[in-house]
Amino acid sequence: MEPLHTFLFDVIVGTRVERACDIPKLVGIICESGVSLSDADQKGNSCLHFAAKMEQHQSKSFDQQPSKASLMERKTKQKAAEGVIKTLLEYNPPLDLRNERGRTPLHEALALGLKLPVRLLLEAGADINVLDKSGHCALYKASKNGHHDLVYFLIETRSEIKLSERDRHYVFRKAVIKRYPEAVAALGRSVHVERPDPDTGRTPLHNAAAFLCDCISRQLLAQKPNLLMQDKNGQTPLHLALQPRFGSCHFWSKGSVCQPSKSLNLDLIRCLV
């Protein structure tokens, strides 16, 4: 890799520049020199890979309860990360270049739940359906890492998403467990609701009943699933709905996520009988 390209990598990760606000300017100067943005390091990461996760790298040193000065510094570094991505995109870098793990810059940003880099990359035309070497798309990794708000927002708003059957069922199962009714509605049209989880044997209705989530359970019941299907412990959805929850028995809808309540969901139980 050329020395200038190595220097560009160092600038992006913040090891060559003291002030974060200077990073986008310096990146622009280096790009103007004609450095190849297709070059990668030994692990196959391009400068756009590093830029996509720059915000996370810049925020690692902050405490759980940062001071006002730290918050201002974080905001400055987040703005620098945004500036770097925008600067690189002006020079038409390869958006879907895959590293040794088969992951694109969009994979990296989604895996970390970084909303701004995700938005910028998608607006530039990055392909959200690229599979990594494990055969998973970027949304799978984001869902597995717990970035549910971002995942389900994209599912509800991006019509070009094409999940594999394996990824679709995983993300759908997480949407049920984490109580995102809009995402369940968006995915439910293309998911077999009687397909059990390979580890627990639970169907989506089992999971909804276990959390006594009324709005999601009704969506699943509309597809007329088999109410007598048993998980690996021999329990039906009704068995799970009747189990004590120690004061957190069912969920009422608030925005896009259902929140806990303290009363039994008798309507749900009646539907499962």
Average pLDDT for the chain: 81
Helical (H) or strand (E) element with 250: strand 250-254
- Mind giving me the DSSP string for 103-143? --HHHHHHHTT-HHHHHHHHHHT--TT---TTS--HHHHHH
pLDDT in tens, 227-241: 889 999 999 988 888
Checking if the pLDDT of 264 tops 50, the result is yes
Phi first, then psi, for residue 260 (nearest 5°) are -70, 145
The pTM assigned to this predicted structure is 0.78
What are the tokens at 136? 């998973």
Phi first, then psi, for residue 162 (nearest 5°) are -130, 95
Residue 130 · residue 101 · CB < 8 Å: no
Most confident of 26-40, 98-112, 226-240, 242-256: 98-112
Of 87 and 189, the one with more pLDDT: 87
Other beta carbons within 10 Å of 254: 9
Domains of the chain, with CATH numbers? Answer: 1-138 (1.25.40.20), 163-273 (1.25.40.20)
What is the rounded CA–CA span in Å between residue 115 and residue 70?
Answer: 21
What is the rounded CA–CA span in Å between residue 203 and residue 201?
Answer: 7
Place of tokens 């049920």: 176
What is the rounded CA–CA span in Å between residue 270 and residue 273?
Answer: 5
In the chain, % of residues over pLDDT 90:
30
Which DSSP symbol is given to 21?
G
Residue 209 · residue 238 · CB < 8 Å: yes
Residue 109 · residue 52 · CB < 8 Å: yes
Residue 135 · residue 105 · CB < 8 Å: no
Helical (H) or strand (E) element with 173: helix 165-177
What are the tokens at 143? 């869902």
Residue 151 · residue 142 · CB < 8 Å: yes
pLDDT of residue 258: 53
* CA-to-CA dists, residue 66 to 19, 70, 73, angstroms: 19, 6, 10
Strand, coil or helix: 72:
helix
Q: At what angle do helices 3-12 and 23-32 cross, to 10 degrees?
A: 160
pLDDT in tens, 76-122: 778 888 999 999 999 999 999 999 999 999 999 999 999 999 999 99
pLDDT in tens, 56-78: 755 554 445 566 666 777 787 78
Report how far apart the first and last C-alpha atoms of the chain are (Å, whole number).
66
**Which residues contact residue 43 at a Cβ distance below 8 angstroms, ignoring those fewer than 6 apart?**
99, 100, 101
Checking if the pLDDT of 164 tops 60, the result is yes
* CA-to-CA dists, residue 109 to 48, 54, 87, 154, 193, angstroms: 10, 9, 17, 13, 30
